[in-house]
Structure 1
Amino acid sequence: MAVVGFVGLGVMGRPMAANLVRAGHEVRAFSRGAAGREEAARLGVPVVGGVAEAVTGADVVVTMLPDTPDVRTVALGPGGVLEHLAPGAAYIDMSTIEPGAARDIAERFAAAGHDALDAPVSGGEAGAREGTLSIMVGGPADAVERWRDVLGAMGTTVVRVGDAGAGQTVKAANQLVVAAHLQALAEAVVFLEAHDADVATALSVIARGLGGSTVIDRKAASVLAGDFAPGFRLELHHKDLGIVEGAARARGAVLPVTGLVGRLVQSLVQRGDGALDHSALVALARELNGTGDRAEAR
């Protein structure tokens, strides 16, 4: 069992930290938001008063933060993880950030004698609660094995996908696939409704065939109920698709479908719907067809 410093107690971070506690690890968690700290404590996660207290004496520090600048600040900034990390301790960032930033951060930690892994996750809030996340890990193979038990407490699939930054590259690919699946689900719903089909029955059949996906399994019921309370916010998916587009430009990759879905997501965020679940793409599809009202969270 390890002493784990955990920074970032948002929708994903709270249940991830709770699963570490349930697995028997000694967790010291912190988040900037009071609401996140209170909810984590309610889940049985020991909460401390700051980053330094979470990091000092830890065997490994995990961060789960919203965006690249947040990770850079917490990992490398004054009073951050690197400043307080004990000799030989490790750093694992499980946020979704730019691949180049992940490589830069890993180099800084490695130069100071620390294992550093980028280990973003897929599976959404449900996967975080259930401990069934898919974790794509970039970094040295021996470091991945050293910290596999910690990662395994949060996810059932832990796969090393390459060197530093590779985890973030694979996560970017994951996010473009999820976005395309969500838009496909949205258009399928609109198409079925236009033909007066039993949409729930139709989707249950599609889900068992080649058109099936985890997106349908996880999102169909809430979509049909008009429930867009966030499991994963549109504004975060917008951020992730920005990472995809930037990384694609850097290598000259052309992603036309991703670009189109990215603009649809952006339109929802720009009009103030960024706090809704990313499945709210179906509400936009209905609006574009004149068959639905603007989505709201329930």
Structure 2
Amino acid sequence: MSTIAFIGLGIMGSPMAVHLQNAGHDVVGYNRTPEKTQPLIAAGGRATQSIADAVSGADVVCVMVPDSPDVRDVLEGEGGVFANAKPNALVIDFSTIRPDVTVELAEQARERGLRLLDAPVSGGEAGAKNAALSIMVGGSDEDFEAARPVFEAVGKTVVHVGPSGSGQTVKAANQLIVAANIQALSEAVVFLEAYGVDTGAALEVLGGGLAGSKVLDQKKGNMLSRSFVPGFRIELHHKDLGIVTAAAREAGVAIPLGSLVAQLMASATAVGDGGLDHSALLRGVERLSGRERS
């Protein structure tokens, strides 16, 4: 078993760190908000007051923070991972960030005698709590195999998709597909309700056919109850779609649907829905249709 430093104990990082501790690893956590370390401590892990203390002596360093600048701060910053991790430590970035930033950081890691994998995850809060995340990994074959015990403790579907940056590219595609599905489901719900259909029954039968999806299964409850407690916040999905549209432009690829959904996500953020679950795209369809609820 490994000594693991886990940086970032939010909605996703906290249950992941707990799973690693329960799997027998020695997990040391750090979070800017100290009270968020409590679930890890309750599971038998430890907490520190700084990134430097957390990573000192760790075999593996896991990072789960919101955006590219946050990852840079954690890795490159004064008192960060690159300056304090022991030689040959394995750094696993579970965050969702720009592929080009990952490639740059992986090169910096190599220059410092460290090994970096980009390993963004899909599955939201439920996947993190149930250790059922889908993990798309970029990096070398050797480093992927070395990290397998970590991945198997937190994920269900773990796939090595290519060299550094590949995991982030696949995650960008994932976020495009999920956003388009949520928007389509939102429009279907408002459409069904406009005709007075038993919407719950309608979604049940739709879920059994070609229209069925994990998005429908996992998000229909939120939409039917209008309960948008965040499993994955709109403001984060907005950030992710910015990554998708920028990367598509660089590659010379047209993503007309992706660009439209990105604008709808931006609108939801602008009107104050950014802190809600991304299933709250439904509220945007209601606004456009003149069917807003109080």
TM-score over 0.5 for the pair: yes
Show the 5 A alignment for 1:126-165: 126-165=126-165
Code of the residue aligned with 2:87 in structure 1: it is: P
Query: 2:71 maps to what in 1?
Result: 71
| Root mean square deviation of aligned Cα | 1.2
Residue ranges of structure 2 left out of the alignment (5+ in a row): none
Q: Distance in 1 between matches of 2:187 and 2:77?
A: 44
Deviations, residues 191-227 of structure 1 (Å, cap 9, x unaligned) = 1111211111111111121111111111111210110
Query: 1:116 maps to what in 2?
Result: 116
Query: 1:91 maps to what in 2?
Result: 91
Code of the residue aligned with 2:265 in structure 1: it is: V
Residue ranges of structure 1 left out of the alignment (5+ in a row): none
Secondary structure in structure 1 of the residue aligned to 2:46: coil
Code of the residue aligned with 2:226 in structure 1: it is: G
Code of the residue aligned with 1:28 in structure 2: it is: V
1:50 deviation in Å?
A: 1.1
Query: 1:261 maps to what in 2?
Result: 261
Query: 2:234 maps to what in 1?
Result: 234
Q: Distance in 2 between matches of 1:173 and 1:235?
A: 18
Query: 1:189 maps to what in 2?
Result: 189
Q: Distance in 1 between matches of 2:286 and 2:181?
A: 16
1:156 deviation in Å?
A: 0.9
Query: 2:198 maps to what in 1?
Result: 198
Secondary structure in structure 2 of the residue aligned to 1:153: helix
Query: 1:287 maps to what in 2?
Result: 287
Between 123-132 and 70-79, report the one with greater CA deviation. Answer: 70-79
1:146/1:83 CA distance change after superposition, 3 Å: same
Q: Distance in 1 between matches of 2:39 and 2:148?
A: 27
1:265/1:35 CA distance change after superposition, 3 Å: farther
- Contact 2:20 2:154 (C-alpha < 8 Å) held by counterparts: yes
Q: Distance in 2 between matches of 1:99 and 1:51?
A: 24
Determine what percentage of the aligned residue pairs are the same residue. Answer: 51
Q: Distance in 1 between matches of 2:27 and 2:38?
A: 15
TM-score, scaled relative to structure 2: 0.97
Code of the residue aligned with 1:176 in structure 2: it is: L
Code of the residue aligned with 2:89 in structure 1: it is: A
Code of the residue aligned with 2:124 in structure 1: it is: G
Q: Distance in 2 between matches of 1:155 and 1:225?
A: 29
Q: Distance in 1 between matches of 2:45 and 2:277?
A: 26
Query: 2:244 maps to what in 1?
Result: 244
Between 256-265 and 160-169, report the one with greater CA deviation. Answer: 256-265
Secondary structure in structure 1 of the residue aligned to 2:159: strand
Code of the residue aligned with 2:272 in structure 1: it is: G
- Contact 2:22 2:43 (C-alpha < 8 Å) held by counterparts: no
Code of the residue aligned with 1:123 in structure 2: it is: G
When the two structures are aligned, how many residues end up with a matched partner? 294
Query: 2:219 maps to what in 1?
Result: 219
Q: Distance in 2 between matches of 1:34 and 1:287?
A: 39
Secondary structure in structure 1 of the residue aligned to 2:58: coil
1:11 deviation in Å?
A: 0.6
Deviations, residues 147-171 of structure 1 (Å, cap 9, x unaligned) = 1011111101110000000000000
Q: Distance in 2 between matches of 1:231 and 1:43?
A: 22
Q: Distance in 2 between matches of 1:71 and 1:104?
A: 12
Secondary structure in structure 2 of the residue aligned to 1:137: strand
- Contact 2:18 2:39 (C-alpha < 8 Å) held by counterparts: no
Q: Distance in 2 between matches of 1:286 and 1:145?
A: 47
Q: Distance in 1 between matches of 2:223 and 2:190?
A: 11
Code of the residue aligned with 1:52 in structure 2: it is: A
